[in-house]
């Protein structure tokens, strides 16, 4: 696929998802952001870069730890950024600014930032090594570069059921991008290729029970999966939803539906 078309599709997907991206069903993004921000081990006065900020969860978690510092947050989707600005305002956090940019073509000067992070964003880049190298260029020597990703067990068995059913419709199934970085070994290889050192990766379980099918649907509808569902006609979407609801209801237990979310938090450093 042409790279501009690919970027346009990502932007469209997240522009459409922005409205509900912060719904309670997707609160794992908030816990993940806290883990990533904590792992950055800020002193408190740094200027940090947050790439693919989305609705700002990582940027805000970092900004809270940077009482004497600042966060510059970047995203491709203007609708996600609108939400990020509202979130910052609601939380009365003002030591950050938001820029609508493609992180692959952002032209910050070399060594501008003390640290950089990217929550669930690197795996969207067609060339992850070039992308990570370019983020690294913006960071001062010795600075931390932190990312998050998901393990292969994410949202199983719900996700497998979704994929098996949606494949019975005429949709173009994109590759599940996070699978490019679903293990510590893959992340290690990426960091090494980008010339980073002292990498450490930790795995956290940030899952919880969903109240029912509606919450699972919120996750599908207000995240990257929206791009697949958007390919269905409205009648197919109704048919799909009904059939998928029936199979997901079978997984409801006393506490609800278990949403398994295992995340990888990795931090490495630019050599001095």
Ligand X SMILES: C[S@@+](CC[C@H](N)C(=O)[O-])C[C@H]1O[C@@H](n2cnc3c(N)ncnc32)[C@H](O)[C@@H]1O
Which of 102-110, 162-170, 181-189, 252-260 is the region at the interface with ligand X (rule: CB under 6 A)?
102-110
The answer to whether 124 contacts ligand X (rule: CB under 6 A) is yes
The answer to whether 120 contacts ligand X (rule: CB under 6 A) is yes
The answer to whether 53 contacts ligand X (rule: CB under 6 A) is yes
The answer to whether 54 contacts ligand X (rule: CB under 6 A) is yes
* Residue among 78, 97, 102, 127 that touches ligand X (CB under 6 A): 102
Burial of 5 (0-12, 13-18, 19+ CB in 10 A): exposed
First-to-last C-alpha distance (Å) of the chain: 38
- Conformational region of residue 41, where left means phi above 0, alpha means psi within -120 to 50, and beta covers everything else: left
The answer to whether 19 contacts ligand X (rule: CB under 6 A) is no
The answer to whether 116 contacts ligand X (rule: CB under 6 A) is no
How many C-beta atoms lie closer than 10 Å to residue 142's C-beta? 11
Rounded to 5 degrees, φ, ψ at 204 are -125, 145
The answer to whether 57 contacts ligand X (rule: CB under 6 A) is yes
The answer to whether 16 contacts ligand X (rule: CB under 6 A) is no
The answer to whether 267 contacts ligand X (rule: CB under 6 A) is no
The answer to whether 178 contacts ligand X (rule: CB under 6 A) is no
The answer to whether 58 contacts ligand X (rule: CB under 6 A) is yes
The answer to whether 82 contacts ligand X (rule: CB under 6 A) is no
How many C-beta atoms lie closer than 10 Å to residue 191's C-beta? 23
Chain positions 236 to 265 lying near ligand X, rule: CB under 6 A, are none
Size of interface with ligand X, in residues (CB under 6 A): 22
The answer to whether 136 contacts ligand X (rule: CB under 6 A) is no
The answer to whether 220 contacts ligand X (rule: CB under 6 A) is no
The answer to whether 72 contacts ligand X (rule: CB under 6 A) is no
User: Residue with CB nearest ligand X?
Assistant: 54
The answer to whether 14 contacts ligand X (rule: CB under 6 A) is yes
* Residue among 48, 76, 93, 181 that touches ligand X (CB under 6 A): 76
Nearest approach, Cβ of residue 140 and ligand X (Å): 22
Chain positions contacting ligand X, by CB under 6 A: 10, 14, 29, 33, 52-54, 57-58, 74-77, 80, 102-104, 119-121, 124, 224
């Amino acid at each position: 696929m042409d790279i501009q078309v690919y970027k346009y599709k990502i932007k469209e997907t997240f522009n459409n998802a922005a409205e509900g991206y912060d719904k309670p069903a997707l609160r794992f993004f908030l816990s993940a952001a806290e883990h990533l921000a904590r792992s950055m081990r800020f002193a408190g006065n740094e200027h940090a870069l947050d790439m693919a900020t989305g609705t700002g969860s990582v940027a805000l978690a970092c900004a809270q730890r940077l009482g004497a510092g600042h966060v510059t947050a970047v995203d491709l989707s203007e609708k996600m950024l609108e939400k990020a600005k509202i979130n910052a305002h609601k939380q009365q956090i003002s030591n950050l600014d938001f820029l609508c940019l493609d992180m692959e073509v952002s032209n910050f000067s070399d060594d501008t930032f003390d640290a950089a992070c990217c929550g669930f964003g690197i795996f969207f880049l067609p060339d992850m090594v070039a992308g990570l190298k370019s983020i690294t260029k913006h960071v001062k020597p010795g600075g931390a570069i932190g990312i998050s990703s998901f393990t292969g067990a994410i949202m199983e068995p719900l996700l497998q059921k979704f994929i098996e059913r949606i494949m019975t419709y005429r949709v173009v199934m994109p590759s599940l991008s996070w699978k490019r970085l679903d293990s510590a070994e893959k992340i290690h290889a990426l960091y090494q290729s980008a010339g980073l050192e002292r990498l450490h990766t930790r795995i956290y379980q940030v899952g919880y029970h969903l109240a029912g099918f509606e919450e699972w649907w919120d996750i599908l509808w207000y995240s990257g999966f929206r791009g697949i569902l958007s390919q269905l006609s409205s009648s197919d979407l109704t048919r799909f939803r009904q059939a998928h609801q029936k199979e997901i209801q079978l997984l409801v237990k006393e506490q609800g539906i278990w949403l398994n979310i295992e995340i990888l938090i990795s931090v490495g450093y630019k050599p001095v």
